[in-house]
Amino acid sequence: MTAIARISPSRLARLVICPAYIPAPFDSESRLRFQGLHAIAVLRVIARHIKQGFQLKSVERWGRGFRIDLEFQKPDGRIRMHEVKSARQLTEAHRIQAALYWGGDQDQEVVLSNGSTDLLLPQDYLEKVRQQAEATRAFLRDRPDEAAVTFRPDPCVCRYCGNQRCPFLQRNQQSQTLRVGA
């Protein structure tokens, strides 16, 4: 299996939006804070779904090179997979990432959740993302030099990007500094 085929859904989601995306370094203090917020969001999603009659089937189940946060069985017997985010606002990158966990089963639901919201992703969206992901993988594999400089600025991607060649990166860092200092 090639390195392009093994790209994690979290990274591939951002590459679908901006093929030149490179993850910025993540320090251990930030990682610990993130993991704590994620755990709280997971507990809220579990509690909310159990109250609605869902049965929790698995937590952090390993899939095809990735981990699915939660898997529930609906009262009608269907399976519902959840990608859980600690973010207050669910972004397009989050939606794409959740859709990438879909295995192609028409009876399987994919839901993007945070501490307060559950967003059921429609089947046509799941299919569209699958096609976009395959096109992105092909672009990265067949034209890597072009992909490395195909910059598509997007707030939900730029915020976590560390590509020093990006002409938008410095501008993005300056605007974040202004927002923090304001």
Q: Which residues lie closer than 8 Å to 139 by C-beta, 6 or more apart?
A: 19, 146, 147, 150
Whether residue 4 lies inside any domain: the answer is no
Give residue 127's domain range: 9-181
Residue 27: predicted pLDDT: 84
At 3, list the tokens. Answer: 């390195």
Mean residue pLDDT of the chain comes to 88
For residue 51, is it within any domain? Answer: yes
Strand ranges across the sheet with 67-73: 55-62, 67-73, 79-84, 109-113, 118-120
User: What parts of the chain have a pLDDT lower than 50?
Assistant: 1, 174-182
pLDDT at 177: 44
Q: Quick one: what percent of the chain has pLDDT higher than 70?
A: 88
Q: How many distinct structural domains can be found in the chain?
A: 1
Residue 30: predicted pLDDT: 84
Q: Cα–Cα distance between 149 and 103 in angstroms, integer?
A: 31
The whole-number pLDDT of residue 3 equals 64
Please indicate, yes or no, if residue 146 is contained in any of the structural domains: yes
pLDDT at 5: 61
**CATH code at position 85:** 3.90.320
Structure tokens at 181: 């200092």
